[in-house]
Structure 1
């Protein structure tokens, strides 16, 4: 075996070892990424549940204020009608 063949063989072996090591590292990085994405998904689901829990009372309060506004509008209309009736009775 020549010197060039020995050097070429050693370079090929070293590159093959590097590729195997890089392959394992890529596998572990992807595995950690999967764990992180799973945790993030759980966090987003919890946040969605929390937002839903906060949204329900806010919608209830909004409905209450809408009802109060409508009631105030009706009371204002009734008051005006009574004032108009009072003016027409005075004449």
Structure 2
């Protein structure tokens, strides 16, 4: 369920009932509260139109490559796909 990873609770409610986070961070909401472990600091000088959040794409793509393909240092690999996971 969509709750904070630190304490398992929701930070929002309506009429006394909890409102759960979407995908753990409510990335499609205008405002949200996230655990410090889910925050990435962006350099203030970075152009905002060029900054993007890849979310779990990096860890998913990297984890798949390292744990399934198990490439060794110096080996060549091919990446198929240009989504967040493919770009990871």
TM-score by length of 1: 0.20
Greater relative contact order (Cα < 8 A, sep 6+): 2
TM-score (norm 2): 0.21
Structure 1 or 2: larger strand share? 2
Structure whose residues are more often helix by fraction: 1
Which protein has the larger Cα radius of gyration, Structure 1 or Structure 2?
A: 1
